[in-house]
Amino acid sequence: MSDNTIQISSNEMEETLLNLFLKYNFSNEKAQLLASTYTESTLYGVFSHGINRVPLFIEYIENGSVKVDKEAEKVASFGSIERWDGHQGPGIINATKCTDRAIELAKEHGMGLVALRNNNHWMRGGSYARQAADAGCISILFTNTQPNMPPWGGKDSRTGNNPFVVSIPRKAGHVILDMAISQFAFGKINDYKLRGKKLPFPGGWDENDELSNDPERITLKERGLPIGYWKGSALSIILDMLATLLSAGDSTFRISQRPFETAVSQVFLCIYPGIFGDQDLQERLINEIIDYTHNVEPMHPEDRTYFPGERSSQTRVKYEKEGIPVSSKVWDKVMELVS
């Protein structure tokens, strides 16, 4: 990383954030959960939804979008499915609670689903995927967002990048897919812009409605490209529909009508594969797939293949050892907020 970063240990980050959240009137337990989740997301290399996002989270508390004292509660249930209302509480706390509940339901019924409305941004979906996997559960999780991609053929952004997250528990390291439906996050596009580089592939539409890999031109209007063009556009729309109708919550359309991105809709689906009593076989089958897709000749000598979640786990090991390279500007801002 550049010389604009400083190395912060995960302990120092977590302690600093704990003090910050206590200052903003969270209970000790909630402040601890927020601090550890933001730190862990940063450890896994997801700065945009880790430490870099903390100042915006505080801003959202101050503008009233995030309600410090609110918490998700159940509003309806039937068998393995429940509908919850997040009451615009902190996204991480509500999402953690709903994941816990989906895990409980899965252990009771084989599967469990919690649909959550009126939540705030859950930050890194992989947090809850890992939480489920640690409890021995498969998880399929998704959220809607504010609009940031045009539906295929349309001019304006009217569909969200709606992250889609899947985890599979595994003794030798969980398999975790944490994927927004946009080809590149706008955070990533801005990184390329700052470094004066082009994207490796088209990532959005320029001011002349042409697909572009030029971050300068894509960021003039925020119109991201869905993965697979028309396919990701359709996938994004259908995830918004599922989250909205299952939670009876707000769709990307309704979210777009507010000044801040709040009251989003999310789905937490857990499956407990332990019910079959053949975890050893399952582990062997998963490892076979990993071996087959790993032990492949690289397309170009510098290439390597990874299984979903492998690289972020490597990043974590590195950062635990060497400290986390945090932007000085971000760290200064956090220190200013905490003081």
CB of 39 to a second copy, least distance (A): 25
Regarding 216 and contact with a second copy (CB under 8 A), the answer is no
Residue number with CB closer to a second copy (56 or 289): 289
The SS3 assignment for 155 reads: coil
Regarding 1 and contact with a second copy (CB under 8 A), the answer is no
Interaction pattern, residues 15-44, with a second copy; x per rule: CB under 8 A: ------------------------------
111-119 and 264-271: which strand pairing? antiparallel
Regarding 205 and contact with a second copy (CB under 8 A), the answer is yes
User: Judged by CB under 8 A, which stretch of 18-26, 65-73, 89-97, 158-166 contacts a second copy?
Assistant: 158-166
Question: Rounded to whole angstroms, how far apart are CA atoms 118 and 51?
Answer: 24
Q: Which run of H or E residues covers position 134?
A: helix 126-134
Q: How many CA atoms lie within 13 A of 233 on its CB side?
A: 16
User: Judged by CB under 8 A, which stretch of 37-45, 62-70, 212-220, 236-244 contacts a second copy?
Assistant: 236-244
Question: Rounded to whole angstroms, how far apart are CA atoms 153 and 135?
Answer: 42
Of 49, 87, 109, 294, which residue is the catalytic one? Answer: 49
The number of residues making up the chain comes to 339
List Cβ neighbours of 339 (8 Å cut-off, separation of 6 or more): none
Regarding 53 and contact with a second copy (CB under 8 A), the answer is no
Residue number with CB closer to a second copy (298 or 321): 298
List Cβ neighbours of 336 (8 Å cut-off, separation of 6 or more): none
CB of 236 to a second copy, least distance (A): 9
CB of 139 to a second copy, least distance (A): 11
Using CB atoms within 10 Å of the CB of residue 114, give its burial: 0 to 12 exposed, 13 to 18 middle, 19+ buried. Answer: buried
Q: Token match 């907020």: residue?
A: 337
Question: Rounded to whole angstroms, how far apart are CA atoms 134 and 326?
Answer: 27
Out of 56, 220, 238, 335, point to the residue binding a second copy (CB under 8 A).
238
Which candidate, 267, 96, 281, 95, places its Cα nearest to that of 170?
281
User: Judged by CB under 8 A, which stretch of 62-70, 76-84, 94-102, 313-321 contacts a second copy?
Assistant: 76-84
- Residue 109 among the catalytic residues: no
Under 8 Å between Cβ of 239 and 142: yes
Binders of a second copy among 126-155, rule CB under 8 A? 138, 140, 150-155
CB of 121 to a second copy, least distance (A): 20
Residue number with CB closer to a second copy (30 or 124): 124
Residue positions annotated with a catalytic role: 49
